[in-house]
Amino acid sequence: MTGHGFRAVASTILNEAGFRPDVIERQLAHSERNAVRAAYHRAEYLRSGGPMMQQWADMLDALASGAQVIPLQRRTDPKAGV
Protein backbone atom coordinates (compact mmCIF):
# COMPACT_ATOMS: atom_id res chain seq x y z
CA MET A 1 0.00 0.00 0.00
CA THR A 2 1.27 3.45 -0.87
CA GLY A 3 0.32 6.96 0.16
CA HIS A 4 -1.69 7.32 -3.02
CA GLY A 5 -3.29 3.94 -2.35
CA PHE A 6 -4.57 5.15 1.03
CA ARG A 7 -5.84 8.33 -0.59
CA ALA A 8 -7.64 6.26 -3.24
CA VAL A 9 -9.30 4.16 -0.54
CA ALA A 10 -10.40 7.30 1.32
CA SER A 11 -11.73 8.90 -1.86
CA THR A 12 -13.66 5.77 -2.81
CA ILE A 13 -15.22 5.26 0.62
CA LEU A 14 -16.13 8.93 1.07
CA ASN A 15 -17.67 9.12 -2.41
CA GLU A 16 -19.69 5.97 -1.69
CA ALA A 17 -20.80 7.52 1.61
CA GLY A 18 -22.39 10.33 -0.39
CA PHE A 19 -20.07 13.23 0.36
CA ARG A 20 -19.70 15.92 -2.31
CA PRO A 21 -16.79 15.26 -4.67
CA ASP A 22 -15.57 18.87 -4.40
CA VAL A 23 -15.32 18.51 -0.61
CA ILE A 24 -13.47 15.20 -0.88
CA GLU A 25 -11.00 16.54 -3.43
CA ARG A 26 -10.27 19.61 -1.30
CA GLN A 27 -9.62 17.45 1.77
CA LEU A 28 -7.24 15.32 -0.29
CA ALA A 29 -5.46 18.56 -1.29
CA HIS A 30 -6.20 18.01 -4.97
CA SER A 31 -6.22 21.09 -7.17
CA GLU A 32 -8.89 21.88 -9.71
CA ARG A 33 -7.92 20.56 -13.17
CA ASN A 34 -10.12 23.01 -15.02
CA ALA A 35 -8.00 26.21 -15.18
CA VAL A 36 -10.99 28.55 -15.55
CA ARG A 37 -12.82 27.00 -12.61
CA ALA A 38 -9.63 27.03 -10.54
CA ALA A 39 -9.22 30.76 -11.19
CA TYR A 40 -12.64 31.59 -9.78
CA HIS A 41 -13.64 28.75 -7.47
CA ARG A 42 -11.66 29.10 -4.25
CA ALA A 43 -13.92 27.47 -1.70
CA GLU A 44 -12.16 25.65 1.10
CA TYR A 45 -15.23 23.67 2.21
CA LEU A 46 -14.29 24.02 5.88
CA ARG A 47 -17.84 23.56 7.17
CA SER A 48 -18.49 20.51 5.01
CA GLY A 49 -15.02 19.02 5.38
CA GLY A 50 -15.01 18.91 9.19
CA PRO A 51 -17.96 16.53 9.62
CA MET A 52 -16.75 14.40 6.72
CA MET A 53 -13.27 14.04 8.20
CA GLN A 54 -14.79 13.26 11.61
CA GLN A 55 -16.86 10.46 10.06
CA TRP A 56 -13.68 9.17 8.36
CA ALA A 57 -11.78 9.28 11.68
CA ASP A 58 -14.61 7.48 13.48
CA MET A 59 -14.59 4.76 10.84
CA LEU A 60 -10.82 4.32 11.12
CA ASP A 61 -11.07 4.16 14.93
CA ALA A 62 -13.77 1.49 14.65
CA LEU A 63 -11.63 -0.53 12.25
CA ALA A 64 -8.56 -0.21 14.48
CA SER A 65 -10.37 -1.30 17.63
CA GLY A 66 -12.09 -4.28 16.08
CA ALA A 67 -9.88 -5.20 13.21
CA GLN A 68 -9.73 -8.85 12.33
CA VAL A 69 -6.24 -9.57 11.13
CA ILE A 70 -6.00 -12.43 8.71
CA PRO A 71 -2.54 -13.97 8.63
CA LEU A 72 -1.19 -14.32 5.12
CA GLN A 73 0.92 -17.26 4.11
CA ARG A 74 3.63 -16.83 1.57
CA ARG A 75 2.97 -18.68 -1.64
CA THR A 76 5.79 -20.68 -3.02
CA ASP A 77 6.73 -20.46 -6.64
CA PRO A 78 8.64 -23.57 -7.72
CA LYS A 79 9.98 -21.72 -10.79
CA ALA A 80 11.43 -18.86 -8.75
CA GLY A 81 12.83 -21.11 -6.04
CA VAL A 82 10.88 -19.24 -3.37
Written in H, E and C, the secondary structure of the chain is CCHHHHHHHHHHHHHHCCCCHHHHHHHCCCCCCCHHHHHHCCCCCHHHHHHHHHHHHHHHHHHHHHCCCCCCCCCCCCCCCC
23 within some domain = yes
pTM given for the model: 0.59
8 within some domain = yes
31 within some domain = yes
68 within some domain = no
pLDDT digits 0-9 by tens, 23-47: 888 777 656 666 665 554 555 556 6
Round the average pLDDT of the chain to a whole number and report it. Answer: 75
Task: State how many domains the chain has.
Answer: 1
53 within some domain = yes
* Domain carrying residue 52: 3-59
What's the pLDDT at 18? 92
